[in-house]
Structure 1
Amino acid sequence: MSENKTPEDLVAGLVRLLTVTREGENSFTAPQQPGGVGRVFGGQVIAQALQAAQATAPAGLEAHSLHAYFLRGGKEGVDIAYATARDFDGRSFANRRVVAAQEGQPILNLTASFQRPEDGLSHDDTAMPDTPPPEDLEPDMAQRRALVERLGERMSDDQRALVLRPRPIDMRTSDKLHWMNSEPRAPRAHSWFRTVAALPDDPALHRAVIAYASDYTLLGTSALPHGLSWMRGELVGASLDHAIWFHRPARADEWLLYATDAPWSGGGRGFNRGRIFNRAGQLVASVAQEGMMRKRVKKAD
């Protein structure tokens, strides 16, 4: 934890980051990540685009799904504009389309669907994996520090700063993620997450934070069978698309289990799935993502 930032400071910064400013009836801007370096985190763009869609949704309707395509890598230090189209407004459902752009170039397209809450036929045919509770696991930041010490000078200053940057999301992993392990293993991972301090009682914000956190660990799951890592410079990759289905309300400042698996990789791509459970074992969201994944070719000396 940074000497200058409390957990409350970090979460307040996340809330600011995910708060969009209306510039017109259907246009918004969002703040940049303070001190951001390199490429914008994909979860940030997804969450900000969702916030823009939610800001134009009819009263009483809640986001139940989103589908996003990453077109170009966003750059830190450059404003992102979000243009929203109101494609459909019905009595039970509505649809919004959002284009995120930097310097006039689209970087992400997102479509979100909204529904008026209602009672209906219900079943839940997936069980939460049996995994240690978050209280028995150390924060991922401790493992990140150990990784930096192990890699030493093989990491650039920017990589080191990115890995050690204090985060508003506390993640605790019961498995070795791709950046902690070089031995091939089954493409499955289990991580608990929650914000490091309480969030405001705004369901739309909690959905946005869950969308933000859903981009953590997901693409790396498809790297596990290969024993390779982006963090160690062994892979080149980028998210291609990302989809989320919100099944029931959940608080992002209470522990949620993110269980990910990758049933397939090939052709320079990896396909990943995620299930998010609350502490009661209820499925609160499902996630799917495909990303580019290529083994880095070392340049000849």
Structure 2
Amino acid sequence: MSEKGDIFLRARGRTLDAFHEEAELQWKSPFYFIQGADPQFGLMKAWALGDCNYGGDEWEEEIRLTEQAAKAINKLNPKPKFFVLCGDLVHGMPGTVWRENQTKDLKKVLKEVDKEIPLVFVSGNHDIGNVPTSEAIEEYRCTWGDDYFSFWVGGVLFLVLNSQLYVDSSKCPSLKLAQDQWLDIQLATAKQRMCKHAIVFQHIPLFLKTADEEDDYFNISKPIRQELVDKFTEAGIKAVFSGHYHRNAGGFCNDLDMVVSSAIGCQLGEDTHGLRVVVVTAEKIVHRYYSLNKLSSEGIEEDLMDMIKQE
């Protein structure tokens, strides 16, 4: 349930109240959702200054881009099942001066998303800190909801993870252990094939191109990466969707599709500000990245039908 003053339902109790599990356990028909990442209010100015440790005292351009994303999503027909934001909601780290106003402005923009399209929030490193503390994670939970949780839509199990706990949990080891134990239970459910598909959302990619690539700021370190890849593969996870890279990337490891989506906000490469459309059919998970301009100016109904036909 949402608290007084909330503008959207937040995940709590390790699930998402927007979807009632009893009604969503069975597969019915193909559907789609929208994935976005890194609106990161404040980064564009920090990047322009060449100092990403700077919290960013201006974010008018990020507001405009996120407003454009919301309007584009609202125009889609049929409506997506949900809109997931894969982390770095704002740029200001916990405790920094502009964080509160960045958060306030992002919530104001997201209020414009059609109320029939639930919002799903994933924690990023800027949301809980590069070295998260229990206090920072609690602040995130109070602001955006649980940092990890699961929910069902149309017979598909979705898992939302706090990937920063896999990067550095030195200040909150008990919280990482709790997520690990919870994840094992969720993966056991997926492995028992109680779901049509199982899909993971997290901020930091497992890898950018190949599962054996070298460690990088933008991926999970090799030992933990391999552990997660093995767990996900064994459980039959079909896809992992992430952000963090501010560029489109990704690749396969056996049947696991690692999808890295570029940002709504600041671009660090040659991609455009955009969103990913993900179609889930009985047999496949098909996705395409669209620029905000294309989503805003053109209907994608034909593309949706084409992706569904790929079943």
Q: TM-score interval w.r.t. the shorter chain?
A: under 0.3
TM-score by length of 2: 0.26
TM-score by length of 1: 0.26
Q: Which has the larger radius of gyration?
A: 1
- Structure 1 or 2: larger strand share? 1
Structure with more contact order per residue of length (Cα contacts < 8 Å, sep ≥ 6): 2
